[in-house]
Amino acid sequence: MTITKNAVVVGGSLAGLMHGIMLRDNGYSVTILEQEPSTHRQGLDAGIRVGPDFIQFMKQYDRVKREYGIMATHAHVLDKNETIKFKVPWNAALTSWGLVWSILRANFDGQSSEAVPNPPPLPKDAPEARYRSGARVTDVQELNEVIRIQFEDILNGETQVVEADIVIAADGSMSSVRKIVCPSISCEYAGYVTWRGTVPEYYVDKEAHGILGKNLTIHRMHCSHFVIYVIPTDEGQITPGKRLINWVWYHELPAGSADLKETMTDIHGKVHQGTVPRELIRPEVWAKQKALGISKTPACIAQLLERTKSPFVTKIYENTSPRAVFMHGKLVLVGDALVKTRPHSALSTNQAAYDCLALESVLKGRASMNQWESKVLGYGHRLFLWSRILGNFQQGYKLALLWSIWKYVVGFVGLKLGLLPWRSKME
């Protein structure tokens, strides 16, 4: 008789779903605990880059088999007069967070959506896969051979408990699990925010689409820059003319400033520490930001700002954990819960896939948990430093750029020589 092991994944976003799928397909009964109460997550039409490890994950585990990426072949830098200052090869597939979430959710437990209306049936012999929405984790304890997870049902306030042989903390940069097992680690504000929005392709004129509709576009200003590219809709529309032009505006707002507080205060007067959702953005705040952008950008980008109906704003945080493994190898941090990078490398989703595929090797006996920890900490820290370099360069922070390059070189050499103590010893 085969005894099925139990896994709990804390966090039901992309990292959590990837790990849930991998664990279920490797014989674990999986429960995902997601704090958001909605059964369908809002992607806000946010764009993401499809990295090599995510592609490999999809090759191994995706049963939906639908298109989800739009290829870009070049990146170009645009000046205020719409002149292309330089252009470089940049081959990457770009997609939307919401579309990928729907595909992964269909693979995990067969949930249908507009993007995946007819999910493939789950294998008959597949272990149980449960997705619990509205479950806020409040405590995690090691009890002999298992981990006990306590969580609150945020809809009725009821406290519940579940036990697992392995726990995956995939609950993002503000990870509640990390706060329990590693309370000394906190996220640091990078000194700037991102304003984000999308405009349907058909809603921009031919001239603007000719500049923005094919490749990655960058426009740099003083302590600020735009990144623009085309993505599918969250519902999976990839037909040219029906897709979305996605823009991201990195804008400096110093910590503690009145402008930062004003920007992060919603229509109800609540000051948000992460994201102000599109439906809560104060009209006067967006009107002020939009006017600033229109005055500083070329006409094609100004047109996007004018025609964006529902933008949202997010503070940029970063953090690295010195450890990934806790409770004698039964609890691990992955994705943004382990290392939160600035978004400039656009590889956060790929990092989660990297962590997931590496953990698969542990489950199959090809690597130890200590080896996994060394691998994911090394990858995450390199990505962390590289994203800093990209951010400081694009924002025009010259001294910070030099310092971040130095840190990257020292970190790279240290990793090669095995001198840096990023790998912890198991208890």
- Segments of the chain scoring below 70 in pLDDT: 1-3, 42-45, 415, 417-427
pLDDT at 424: 40
Task: Report the amino acid identity of residue 75.
Answer: A
C-alpha span between 84 and 170 (Å, rounded): 40
pLDDT single digits (tens) 319-353: 999 999 999 999 999 999 999 999 999 999 999 99
- Domains for the chain: give ranges and CATH numbers: 5-42+98-187+320-417 (3.50.50.60), 70-96+188-317 (3.30.9.60)
pLDDT at 412: 73
C-alpha span between 190 and 203 (Å, rounded): 33
Distances (CA, A) of 275 to 263, 280, 302: 10, 10, 23
Q: Which of 299, 68, 275, 61 is nearest to 172 (CA)?
A: 275
pLDDT at 325: 98
Kindly report the backbone phi and psi dihedral angles of residue 124, in degrees, each rounded to the nearest multiple of 5, phi listed first.
-60, -35
pLDDT at 40: 72
Contacts of 402 (CB under 8 A, 6+ apart): none
pLDDT at 3: 66
pLDDT single digits (tens) 129-140: 999 999 999 999
C-alpha span between 383 and 277 (Å, rounded): 27
